[in-house]
Structure 1
């Protein structure tokens, strides 16, 4: 299982590299596409709930920490069900969030480039992991479904908490 231990660390690494693209580019992107965003007739405009890079970065840091803990615990206990499901969730996020959003917006959205780069890599990692772990169809579906629901709950919770992150930052910096 030694090779699985090395493969497992790709989850937080890929997640962070992908989110670096969003963190670094979102402010400039919003300025560049300001008129497109204003003219956009989509029900939910891209990054409409984005308030600040600081707030977004705190949410990313929390998710990175959670994915790193999941990876570490998976390796320590040699149990990769939660890890596998979260890798699937990150992979699905590339398609459902970035590809779909970019197609509907008809322009680049932050995260698209790394989503394009990492989608085939993640699919390959899922394939190799399935072989190494000898997961059957039921284990794959269960892992992906459980982690998908848990990931969605984490995402919604962090999105709702983001508005409080700015207040915490201001409070912290005033002390």
Structure 2
């Protein structure tokens, strides 16, 4: 159960090594649904194919990287574990995603993501409704009302959020 007392969906992410800067992930949900997610950094696109356990035709879509980050932040209530490639090239293990809203008076207002980076947690996106779209410049100072998308190793997210608030 999650913090609201509701059952959270659980899924696993496996990264499959491919040549070049692109990355390929397979997301498997407990209900048997599988999504293949391939990044295309050169084109700044993310290609997604979803196959359900019901056998219906796969759904395919291509979205921009900014839209992909915003969509991923909406999944913050899901519990997940990230598995690295068999080579062990990436540090793998359970991870958490949390969206943290900054309020007036929070010490993190006016600061930047690079000031809070550590080995166990990181702000991966800043969601801000504004004239330039939904996502703010990652290097710009944070403002009250910003929603920070935090990815942390399991058990580290609370300490990281405390650092943002104190």
Shorter-chain TM-score category? Answer: under 0.3
* TM-score under structure 1 length normalisation: 0.24
More helix by share: 1
* TM-score under structure 2 length normalisation: 0.25
More strand by share: 2
Structure with more contact order per residue of length (Cα contacts < 8 Å, sep ≥ 6): 1
